[in-house]
Amino acid sequence: MIRLLLILFNLQVRFLMKVHSFVRNKATEADPALKFSNFLYFLFAPTLIYRDHYPRTKTTNWKFVARCFLQCLSVLFIFTVVIMNSYPTPEQWCQKFTPNDILLIVMEKLPYGILVVTGIFFLIFHSVQNLFAEILRFGDRLFYQDWWNAYSFSIWLSKWNKIVQDWLYYYVYRDFREFVCDNGALAKLVVFVVSFGVHEWIMYSWIGGFFPVMFVIFMGVVFPLTFCEFPKWTIFNILVWFCGVFFINLGLLLCAFEHYALLNAPLENPALWELVCPRFITCDCVLR
């Protein structure tokens, strides 16, 4: 049920972003004539930027389609094995923890976090996007760039997901600077707020409650670091890798704590402060 909700929320967000792109593009055209076939193609194409025409390949390579599909199944199988054998069971989530225990769990699961992060990237941004692109003969395959070579957080975030990055640039960053305020730093802040606000909306479908841990981590730590320019040294590339995986792993594990706390100790007639305060702390899963 949780997996189904996550899929539905992701599809909902994707559809809303596509509709905004379509309306934004057609509203500024002198001749907003629309062929329904173009709009229908756009709904399934691996892009969030609407165009009447896209570069197309001549044929569909069905062997490549089959390979991408097998890659998706392989990654999902690996995820199942890793999560079932390396992460705590639902019963273990509700035992008593100290803050040191939580930090120890995060550090112990860091190698698995690397596998999860790279697996999510490979599944969503490589296999799935190339699968749909090949079936639809979509020619523009720049879904990501070499984020693994990034030596700063700004480069890592801009290269990790080019599909969403392009949408944020065209319809949030550029529009904000053109129509609201021509300030690059402020526009960048708005991009982060919109991006991670949507991430929290999706996470809400998994957790079942308000728990903006990813928003706090990325707005409080990662966002200030995007203004820092580091030398192109290997040590900074390793640091970006470690911090990125650590923060994502920390966020996912804390979300799991909150999810099982709400599941095993649900609130009855909660006050406003109880809705905002993390449940895994107030239900005494964490020893003070």
Alpha-carbon span 276 to 267, nearest angstrom:
12
Alpha-carbon span 253 to 288, nearest angstrom:
19
Q: How many residues does the chain have?
A: 288
Alpha-carbon span 133 to 72, nearest angstrom:
15
Alpha-carbon span 152 to 187, nearest angstrom:
19
Alpha-carbon span 159 to 149, nearest angstrom:
10
Out of 20, 53, 126, 199, which one is annotated catalytic? 199
- Widest CA span in the chain: 64
Rounded (5°) CA angle 268-274-278: 115
Tell me the torsion sign for CA atoms 29, 30, 33, 37: negative
259 is known as an active-site residue = no
Phi, psi of 97 (to 5 degrees): -120, 150
- Which DSSP string do the residues of 148-208 spell out, in sequence order? GG-SSHHHHHHHH-HHHHHHHIIIIIHHHHHHT---HHHHHHHHHHHHHHHHHHHHHHHHS
Residues marked as catalytic = 199
